Amino acid sequence: MNLLDGKLVSAKIKEDIKLEAAEFAAKSGRKPHLVAILVGNDGGSETYVASKMRNCELVGFESTNIRYDESVSEIELIAKIKEINEDATVDGLIVQLPLPKHIDPDKVTEAIDYKKDVDGFHPINLGRMQRNLPCFIPATPYGIMLMLEHYKIDTAGKKAVVIGRSNIVGSPMSILLARNSNPGNCTVTLTHSRTENLPAEVLEADIIVAAIGKKNFVTEDMVKEGAIVIDVGINRETSTETKSGFKLYGDVDFENVAAKASWITPVPGGVGLMTIVGLLKNTLEAAKGTIYS
Ligand code: GUN
C-alpha cells in the first residue's frame, strides 16, 4: 500500500501558489482576494471556512469572511452577492454550503458572477468543464486530480467507480475522470442511492472515489486487490480523544481496505487538504485572469 499524502502534496503546491501570489502582488500592487460567505453556525462549515481563510493568509492572499445569521433572507444574501460581483477588489467569491432550508442553493450559486465562481459550481463553469474548456473546476475534484497528477497515477483506460452523485463532488468527479485528459480517460460508473448491488459495482473498480458521507461505508470485501482508493468522506463525530472534541472518519474503512489497495488517501490528511489547494489555485487564476479576462 502506498499513501496518497495530502499533507505532502498540498504543502508543495501551496509553496508554488505562494510564489505566484507574490509575483501577482508585485505586478498589480494588490493581493489575490477571496471572499467567503458563511450563513448560520454549522460547526463543520465554520471549521472549513476558517481553514480556507487561514490558508489564504498562508499563501499571501487577502481573505474576507462575511457572516450572516441563520435567519438571513434569500433576497438579502443575493443582494450582497451582486454587490461583491461588482467589486473589482474581489477575485473569488464562495458561499459555503449547505444553506438554511429557506434559501435556494441553486439561486445563490447562479447569482455569483461565473468569473468569480472559484467553487466552480455555476452552470457555466460546470458546462464548460464538461466540454473540456477553460473554467473553474470544483475544488474537491480539482484537488483529487492534482493528487493523481502528482503521483503520476496512470488512469487511462481504467475502470473508475464514483460513489455518490453530489453536485459538489460525485457528479463533477465522474465528468473529470471520463474526460479526454490526463489524469482522465477512465471508464466511469457513477453510483448512488438507487444503484442495484453497489458493492458488486465497486468490486469491479480500478479506481474508487468514495463521496457518500457515511463513515466506513467502503469495506474490504468491496475492494479489488490493487485498487486505488480516494476517500472524500469527512464524517465528524464528537470525541474525548482529541483536543478539538471531534474526530474525523472517512467513507472508507481505512485499516482494512489499505491492506488491499495499491494507493489510498488517509482521513484526515488526504482529500480535505487538496480541496483547499483546488480553491487557492482557482482564486489565483481568477486574480490573474487566465481563465476569463
Ligand atoms: N460545502 C462542502 N464542500 C464545499 C465546497 O467545496 N464549497 C462550498 N462553498 N461549500 C461546501
State the pLDDT at residue 285.
Answer: 98
- The protein residue with its alpha carbon nearest to ligand 1, atom 11, reads 97
Give the fold, CATH level 3, of 139-272. Rossmann fold (3.40.50)
The active-site residue out of 96, 158, 206, 251 is 96
CB of residue 119 inside a 6 A radius of ligand 1: yes
Which part of the chain has CATH 3.40.50.10860? 29-113
CB of residue 37 inside a 6 A radius of ligand 1: no
Return the C-alpha cell found at 65. Answer: 469572511
CB of residue 96 inside a 6 A radius of ligand 1: yes
State the pLDDT at residue 183.
Answer: 98
Compute, in angstroms, the gap from residue 97 CA to the centroid of ligand 1. 5
The active-site residue out of 5, 91, 117, 119 is 119
Residue 143 CA to residue 146 CA, distance in Å, equals 5
Residue 142 CA to residue 148 CA, distance in Å, equals 10
Phi, psi values for residue 149, rounded to 5°: -65, -45
HEC secondary structure over 140-192: HHHHHHHHHHHCCCCCCCCEEEEECCCCCCHHHHHHHHHCCCCCCCCEEEEEC
> How many other CB atoms are there within 10 angstroms of residue 240's CB atom?
6
Q: From the alpha carbon of 95, which atom of ligand 1 is closest?
A: 9
- The pick from 168, 232, 280 for probing ligand 1's pocket by mutation, whose C-beta has the most ligand atoms within 8 angstroms, reads 168
CB of residue 117 inside a 6 A radius of ligand 1: no
Q: Full-prediction pTM beyond 0.95?
A: yes
**DSSP3 helix / strand / coil % (the chain, rounded to 5):** 40, 15, 45
CB of residue 191 inside a 6 A radius of ligand 1: no
CB of residue 251 inside a 6 A radius of ligand 1: no
- The protein residue with its alpha carbon nearest to ligand 1, atom 6, reads 139
State the pLDDT at residue 293.
Answer: 86
State the pLDDT at residue 273.
Answer: 98
Task: Spell out the per-residue pLDDT of the chain, length 293, in tens.
Answer: 999 999 999 999 999 999 999 999 999 999 999 999 999 999 999 999 999 999 999 999 999 999 999 999 999 999 999 999 999 999 999 999 999 999 999 999 999 999 999 999 999 999 999 999 999 999 999 999 999 999 999 999 999 999 999 999 999 999 999 999 999 999 999 999 999 999 999 999 999 999 999 999 999 999 999 999 999 999 999 999 998 899 999 999 999 999 999 999 999 999 999 999 999 999 999 999 999 98
Q: For the sheet containing 207-210, what is the strand order?
A: 2-3, 263-264, 228-231, 207-210, 159-163, 187-191
Chain centre distance of CA 1: 24
Catalytic status, residue 119: yes
State the pLDDT at residue 216.
Answer: 97
Q: From the alpha carbon of 98, which atom of ligand 1 is closest?
A: 1
Which part of the chain has CATH 3.40.50.720? 139-272
- The pick from 34, 35, 53, 94 for probing ligand 1's pocket by mutation, whose C-beta has the most ligand atoms within 8 angstroms, reads 94
Q: Where are the beta strands (DSSP E) in the chain?
A: 2-3, 33-39, 62-68, 92-95, 159-163, 187-191, 207-210, 228-231, 235-238, 246-249, 263-264
> Is there a cis peptide before residue 268, judged by omega within 30 degrees of 0?
yes
CB of residue 253 inside a 6 A radius of ligand 1: no
Buried b (16+ CB within 10 A) or exposed e, 266-289: bbebbbbbbbbbbbbbbbbbbbbe
Q: From the alpha carbon of 138, which atom of ligand 1 is closest?
A: 6
Return the C-alpha cell found at 230. Answer: 480516494
- Domain 29-113 grouped into CATH 3.40.50.10860: yes
Compute, in angstroms, the gap from residue 48 CA to the centroid of ligand 1. 8
Compute, in angstroms, the gap from residue 110 CA to the centroid of ligand 1. 15
- The protein residue with its alpha carbon nearest to ligand 1, atom 8, reads 96
Question: Which residues, other chains included, contact 197 with Cβ-Cβ below 8 Å and sequence gap of 6+?
Answer: none
**How many residues are present in the chain?**
293
